[in-house]
Amino acid sequence: MNSTTETGHSDSPLRRPFARRLLALAACATLAAGTAAGQLFAEKLEQDGLRLEVTPQPGKVPGYSVFQIKASNLTAVGRSLHAQIQLSWTAPDSPEGAIARSSECTAYLEIPARGELNESVPCKGTDFAKYEFRVVRVLPFIITDSPLKWQQPKSEATN
């Protein structure tokens, strides 16, 4: 059982300023090591009936990074996904973790009911320190099947 000091604060190890700083430093060092090594790792999430897996792929086009997005629709209704991928770079002379610049790219996917989709999304920029995949919106229908979709008028052949 933890004792209480004269100020009323708990004397547990996590309440001590030195212990908190040491834990924060260890956590930052672990995250920095994972990104500094340049390892390609997958990010997985589940949202609004979609199971998403995002994996950076080795770039084949100079100046671009490619992200493989695997989307599984767990519902009986088609879904449209609007997502963003943010790439961040750190400056060589900045403190650990300080972002020098960032870039965003957008992904639109239409996943059929109970279906899967694999898409490659190119993003301008390479050698990024970290990336963040963010779901902007999931719509409960396929946009191209929407009755509100604008359709180009059919041209009539003139003879």
Distance from first CA to last CA of the chain, Å, rounded?
94
Residue range 60-80, pLDDT digits in tens: 889 999 999 999 999 999 999
Phi, psi for residue 115 in degrees, rounded to 5 = -115, 175
Residue range 92-141, pLDDT digits in tens: 777 776 778 889 999 999 999 999 999 999 999 998 888 999 999 999 99
Q: Is 135 helix (H, G, I), strand (E, B) or coil?
A: strand
